[in-house]
Structure 1
């Protein structure tokens, strides 16, 4: 599913870029659109989260399987134009996603014991630097990167219950670094921007179980989120 979404976005971008680069039509839409210092927009998109696990050195052969699923994102855009090639962007958004973790421990005999559903609702706030090329007819490719922070409203960090009663816990606040690319498409009435971005947590997000020998968390040294955002921005 992830590959299908990425392929669709790439094909859309390639089709529009081909049309703009090789068409004889040279009329530019929204010629003065990028002149104001401040601009705004809104964001709709998809996300795909998973976890990266680092295990303790004395852990037996352990493998936690995570089932990925496509989530939904919605947010706002605030853009500060620095010059023709650099923009500073604030993109507060809310993202929704669900991940299933399967713990491969021989003592587990049922799905209730071996499977944990991790529902996440993030308030995600990235501060990004956008570096663009020169506009070519009605397209403007760019790369983008920066840092972000999020609050997981479904983290259960303060819940006293743990995996012994089926409750998987994560830390509420996490910081990330992000990097990606996209293209501005200047349409007749508005600017449309598809982009793909990788999101990588910089800290451990796991809240360990109360039992230091827990079969769920005792072998995990670090658990951090990785994600892919496919965003569609409208300005």
Structure 2
């Protein structure tokens, strides 16, 4: 519920931003056109800063109380490489560093000291994305983006021999994702500013089970997958 509410708020914010830019000042009926030929270049580069909120989706082997996931706000930074394919389509490579934390609470564990697991993750994402841009209106051009990515989790603990019985939560080192989102290219005098929001969903199970069968932390989990969203502010 927390994740859905955040997504709705961010969607409304970006939509409001697009309307506001389209109606005011230099983005009105007779705007001063900035970077008129910018989209005609074959290749261009940029960088992004932003934040993220990631969750886990759990599926279970048998009916049980849900593991409670507490989300936090993480930080994103990365590079953008853009290859123009046609007037409306671009191919993008956006490698980036994503730092986040999720707090898991296990309601079925009696000992309160063992109920909480703080899952700190530092991902390096390698996404390959297809961008579809609408017609440019003045100095605004909305777009849709989607694709697939693979990510290296530097905090996975995948090779650690210890498990939850020693307070060590383990995840797979590599994970595959699909991503979908939308954004707005805003053409300013000296650069192009692109705020965007993107949903991200893992394809494969990320949980490494404990060494002891029937572990209260992992024994009843069929799958554990990351889901969440990124908000990036890109500068070209």
TM-score between both structures, scaled by the size of structure 2: 0.93
How many pairs align?
231
> 1 CA distance for matches of 2:79 and 2:104?
31
> 2 CA distance for matches of 1:135 and 1:16?
13
- State yes or no: 1:83 paired with 2:113: no
User: CA RMSD of the aligned region, Å?
Assistant: 1.7
Counterpart among 40, 43, 60 of residue 38 in structure 1: 43
> 1 CA distance for matches of 2:16 and 2:233?
14
User: Tell me, which stretches of 5 or more residues in structure 2 are unaligned?
Assistant: none
How far is 1:61 from its partner? 1.9
> 2 CA distance for matches of 1:224 and 1:206?
8
What are the equivalent positions in structure 2 for 1:19-38 lying under 5 Å apart? 19=24, 23-38=28-43
User: Tell me, which stretches of 5 or more residues in structure 1 are unaligned?
Assistant: none
In structure 2, the CA distance between the partners of 1:34 and 1:22, relative to structure 1 (3 Å rule), is closer
TM-score between both structures, scaled by the size of structure 1: 0.93
- The 3-state SS of whatever aligns with 1:34 is helix
How far is 1:35 from its partner? 1.4
> 1 CA distance for matches of 2:39 and 2:29?
24
What are the equivalent positions in structure 2 for 1:52-201 lying under 5 Å apart? 52-56=57-61, 59-105=62-108, 107-110=109-112, 112-201=113-202
Deviations 1:36-66 (A, max 9, x none): 100000000111100000100xx24221000
User: Could you tell me whether the CA contact under 8 Å between 1:21 and 1:136 is conserved in 2?
Assistant: no
